[in-house]
C-alpha cells in the first residue's frame, strides 16, 4: 500500500478483508505519514487487533505482536541477555585474550535475545508492531514504552542506544479497563472504535460470508444489534456475527426465527445469565414475526 490518500488506504484495507470506517482509515493513513503510534480504544470485539493485522497484510509488512499481561517486564518485552551463551563464551574463550576482551564480547549484540519490541525496531524490513491490550500492564511498563514510542529507540545500558533502522507502524490497543497515562497518550494518535452501524456491519458480514443472502444478512445484523442493545456481560463481537453468519449457512437456515435462533444462540452469547436474558428479550420478539424477513 503506497499510502497516497485516505481513500487509497481505505481501499487497500478493504482488499485484505477489513472494512474501515472513515476515522479508522484516516488514522491509519496519518500513522504512516507522520510515523506516529496509534492508540486504539474501544469495547472488546470491535476489531482493534484486527486493524493492526489488516495493516500488516495491506502493507505487506511482517506483524510483530506483543501481548500484554499483568507483570510483563522488559526482559519479556524488549531484550534479555543470553546468559547461557555468555557462560559458554567465557568457558570456551578462557585461554585467548584477557578479561577486558571477554567482557566486551559477551555484552555485544550477539548475546542479546531480542524480544518483540527490540525485534520491531531492529528489523531490516519495516514491520507493523502490535502492542495488544496495553491496559493490562502496569503504569511502569507504560513509562518504559515512552522512549520507544516517541523516538523509536531503545537504550541498553551496556550497548547504548539502538535506534530503529526502519520505521515501524505501531498500533496499541486498549479495552479502556484503566485510564492510560497522559504521557503515553500524548505520543499517540487516538482512535476510538465502536460497534459498526447496521449498514457497515452488513458489509462486513457479507464480505466474510459471501454466500449469505442479503435479506438474511440484514436480519442477522438487526438481531445482533438488538442483542447488543441489551445490558449483557459480554455483547457479541463482530467476529461472532461472522461466525454466526457462517453457522446459519451451514445449518441451511433461510430465516432467523425462534427455533434457529435458540439453536445457534450460543455462538453469539456466551454467558449463562446472558443466554437467559437474550432468549427472553430477543427470542420472544422473533417468534412474533417469523415471516417478515422471509
- Work out the number of other CB atoms within 10 angstroms of the CB of residue 111: 18
* Residue number with CB closer to other proteins (54 or 245): 54
Segment interacting with other proteins (CB under 8 A) among 9-17, 93-101, 111-119, 173-181: 173-181
User: CB of 274 within 8 A of CB of 280?
Assistant: no
Sheet holding 62-67, edge to edge: 62-67, 127-132, 169-174, 38-41, 189-192
Using CB under 8 A as the binding rule, whether residue 30 contacts other proteins is answered as yes
Segment interacting with other proteins (CB under 8 A) among 185-193, 206-214, 241-249, 251-259: 185-193
Using CB under 8 A as the binding rule, whether residue 23 contacts other proteins is answered as yes
Using CB under 8 A as the binding rule, whether residue 51 contacts other proteins is answered as no
Coil, helix or strand at residue 81: strand
Element (H, E) at 171: strand 169-174
Minimum CB separation of residue 192 from other proteins in Å reads 6
Q: With CB under 8 A as the rule, give the number of residues binding other proteins.
A: 29
Output b/e per residue, 260-273; b: 16+ Cβ within 10 A: bbeebbebbbeeee
Using CB under 8 A as the binding rule, whether residue 64 contacts other proteins is answered as no
Using CB under 8 A as the binding rule, whether residue 281 contacts other proteins is answered as no
Between CA 292 and CA 1 the distance in angstroms is 43
Binding-site ranges for other proteins (CB under 8 A): 5-6, 22-23, 26-27, 29-30, 33-34, 36, 39, 41, 176-179, 182, 185-192, 231, 233, 273
Amino acid at each position: 500500500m503506497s499510502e497516497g490518500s485516505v481513500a487509497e488506504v481505505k481501499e487497500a484495507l478493504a482488499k485484505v478483508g477489513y472494512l474501515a470506517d472513515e476515522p479508522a482509515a484516516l488514522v491509519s493513513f496519518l500513522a504512516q505519514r507522520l510515523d506516529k503510534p496509534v492508540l486504539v480504544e474501544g469495547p472488546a470485539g470491535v476489531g482493534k487487533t484486527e486493524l493492526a493485522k489488516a495493516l500488516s497484510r495491506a502493507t505487506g509488512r511482517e506483524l510483530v505482536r506483543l501481548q500484554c499481561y499483568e507483570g510483563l517486564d522488559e526482559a519479556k518485552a524488549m531484550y534479555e541477555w543470553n546468559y547461557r551463551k555468555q557462560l559458554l563464551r567465557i568457558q570456551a574463550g578462557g585461554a585467548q585474550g584477557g578479561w577486558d576482551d571477554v567482557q566486551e564480547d559477551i555484552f555485544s549484540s550477539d548475546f542479546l535475545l531480542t524480544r518483540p519490541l527490540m525485534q520491531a525496531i531492529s528489523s531490516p524490513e519495516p514491520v507493523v508492531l502490535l502492542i495488544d491490550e496495553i491496559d493490562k500492564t502496569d503504569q511502569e511498563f507504560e513509562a518504559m514504552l515512552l522512549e520507544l514510542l516517541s523516538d523509536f529507540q531503545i537504550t541498553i545500558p551496556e550497548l547504548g542506544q539502538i535506534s530503529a533502522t526502519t520505521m515501524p507502524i505501531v498500533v496499541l490497543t486498549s479495552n479502556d479497563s484503566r485510564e492510560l497515562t497522559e504521557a503515553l497518550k500524548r505520543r499517540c494518535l487516538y482512535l476510538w472504535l465502536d460497534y459498526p452501524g447496521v449498514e457497515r456491519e452488513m458489509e462486513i458480514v457479507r464480505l466474510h460470508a459471501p454466500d449469505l443472502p442479503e435479506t438474511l444478512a440484514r436480519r442477522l445484523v438487526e438481531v445482533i444489534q438488538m442483542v447488543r442493545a441489551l445490558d449483557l456481560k459480554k455483547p457479541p463481537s463482530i467476529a461472532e456475527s461472522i461466525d454466526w453468519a457462517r453457522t446459519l449457512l451451514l445449518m441451511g437456515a433461510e430465516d432467523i426465527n425462534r427455533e434457529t435462533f435458540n439453536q445457534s444462540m450460543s455462538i453469539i452469547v456466551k454467558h449463562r445469565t446472558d443466554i437467559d436474558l437474550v432468549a427472553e428479550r430477543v427470542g420472544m420478539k422473533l417468534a412474533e414475526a417469523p415471516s417478515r424477513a422471509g
